[in-house]
Chains A and B, each alone.
Chain A
Amino acid sequence: MGKSSLVKAVHAHVNGLGEAAIRRLVLIEIAREDIEALPRLMRVIAREDARFIVFCDDLSFDKDETSYKSLKTILDGGLEGRPENVLFYATSNRRHLMPRDMVENERSTAITPGEAVDEKVSLSDRFGLWLGFHNCDQPTYLAMIRGYCDEYGIAIDDETLRARAVGPRGDPVRQGTGGRTGQGHPMKTEHRLRWSHGEATVLANSAMLADCTFTVDSRPFAPFARAPWLGTVDDPTITGHLRVLAGDFVGLPFGSGQGFRNAPPEWAALPGLPAYRSTHGTAADGDWSFVEADDGNVKLSIDYPADSAVVRIEREITPRPDAPALDFVMRIFARRRALTSAGLPELPPARNARPAGTEGGFRVRPHPSRPDRHRRPARIPEPVCRTKG
């Protein structure tokens, strides 16, 4: 929860002090896999005039690893150890830089109980200063998100912030309540789904499915269009799905509201009204919040305006295990009884014309009659809001 951010903040702060004794403080991040190169790095930077923080993020060691010995040498100091102008910072999610079960296991199986594990545990003891980062409670978590919103100038009332941060049902979010999670919920802009038969990105904007590639018989297959302007629009008058037009999204109400040209008489009599608020409604014209997100599932939610007959929509996209397929669920929660249009645009790309009479191209075929595998009871239970306590 903010461990590596703290290291970087310390570096920025010290450099910003402009103290004469510290002419230059350099932060070097070293990958976990490169720990064995530490002695060589030390020899190089020891000759420099600057001071260094050598930083390893998410450091830990698994069973049978010996690379920790390089780090131990550095931490010990001495001839081959840490030069005077170097401090070593590390973050870890493990108390002793190794799994708890490994500590216990080695303690119980060593010839001299405790000796084998002590060498690795002693590594963690060689750090001069320990700072604990404990899980925060929900009020602290919400305060952190409020801080992010203030920082980014996002105007949001407490009730909406809480609903988006902890989920529409008041449940804690699946990922926990860490700082990165807190930052991610109101402002997370996309999520990548990965499974055995494909990859796809789901955007917060319009909950748009973008860049979906299935794997079919070991071949990549990207069946959806992608607007060439996706990700490049900075015109503030272009909003919502138009900025990110791609594979699959939700229209509620559905429709652009454009009238017919040369309409037949029975249609010409109908009013030529504009779309309600925007083309394909709030669902396609705003940022959704990520409620849950991991490799195998993503769930988003969007609130509708207070004067709408819809309270909110949830959208869930789930890769089908062991198949090149995606399953979608949309749940619509109403504020009052009403009729509304609804639609699910899927956008395969258009192709060039083929010479008349040649085989090939793109064929769309409605199947005349087949049971609908998606037919479920339309009624679903209303979620019960509850507070954690």
Chain B
Amino acid sequence: MGHIPLSPQTDKNVQLCGMKGPLTATWLDEGLGIELDWDRVLLPSLMIWHTDRGIGGPPWYNQFRAVGLEPIASAFDLATEVSAAANPINARGVATAINLDPAAPLEIRHSIRAFAAG
């Protein structure tokens, strides 16, 4: 998935497990980019959802185009029961869920900063 589009009308997910740093997305033609930074202890993975006219039916109708950059504590975008149970990702020590506790509300921060690419 080094280069996109992968193919016409694609819809693919890639999960990068155990992220160590923030992420930059740069529009090389415009010389502009964004940096996505987030709480990587609570959300240790990044899912890249590349959807390029790849979803049919309402309301999509093969129109939507995006590169989703998604900090997650999840096993891909499977049901939460799969993420909360034993799975091949948390077997490697990368959390796929967060712990809810009435005595300890969670705070998850993230930020998006735009920049001019030097």
Contacts and interface: CB of A to CB of B under 8 A. Distances in A.
Contact of A372 (B39, B78, B116): B39
A328 B110 contact: yes
B84 A341 contact: yes
Nearest to B47: A343
Interface residues of A, number: 96
Interface of A (DSSP majority class):
loop
Contacts of A361: 28-29
A329 B30 contact: no
Interface string B53-88: 000001100011111111111111111111111011
Given A216-B114, A258-B77, A344 B38 contact: yes
Given A225-B65, A344-B72, A368-B21, A350 B50 contact: yes
Interface in A341-382: 341-353, 359-370, 372-382
Q: Which of A331, A338, A376, A378 has the most CB of B within 10 A?
A: A378
Contacts of A133: none
A341 B59 CA distance: 25
A344 B55 CA distance: 20
Interface string A321-332: 001111111111
A217 B118 CA distance: 12
B59 A255 contact: no
A214 interface: yes
- The size class of the interface chain B forms with chain A is 35 or more
Nearest to B29: A360
Contacts of B51: 350
Q: Which of A217, A251, A372 has the most CB of B within 10 A?
A: A372
A310 B101 CA distance: 9
A380 B108 contact: no
A381 B64 CA distance: 40
A375 B69 CA distance: 19
Contact of B113 (A266, A325, A333, A339): A325
B107 A329 contact: yes
A259 interface: yes
Contacts of B84: 338-341
Contacts of A381: 105
Interface string B90-118: 00000011111111111111111111100
A147 interface: no
B23 A366 contact: yes
Contacts of A369: 20-21
A221 interface: yes
B44 to A, nearest CB: 11
A340 B97 contact: yes
A190 B69 CA distance: 24
Nearest to A227: B64
Interface string B13-56: 00010011111111111101110111111110011111110000
Given A223-B34, A368-B20, A332 B105 contact: yes
A370 B38 CA distance: 11
A242 interface: yes
A243 interface: yes
A324 B69 contact: no
Nearest to B83: A341
A337 B100 contact: yes
Given A326-B112, A334-B102, A374 B39 contact: yes
Contacts of B87: 267, 270
Nearest to A325: B113
A374 B38 contact: yes
A342 B42 contact: yes
A305 to B, nearest CB: 14
Given A255-B83, A257-B79, 5 more contacts: A342-B74, A359-B28, A364-B23, A373-B111, A374-B37
Interface of A: 197-198, 214, 216-217, 219, 221, 223, 225, 227-229, 233, 235, 237-238, 242-243, 245, 248, 251, 253-260, 266-267, 270-271, 273-276, 281, 309-311, 320, 323-353, 359-370, 372-382
8 contacts: A223-B32, A328-B109, A328-B110, A337-B102, A344-B70, A345-B70, A364-B67, A378-B104
Q: Which 4 A-B pairs have the closest CB atoms?
A: A367-B21, A253-B80, A273-B79, A341-B74
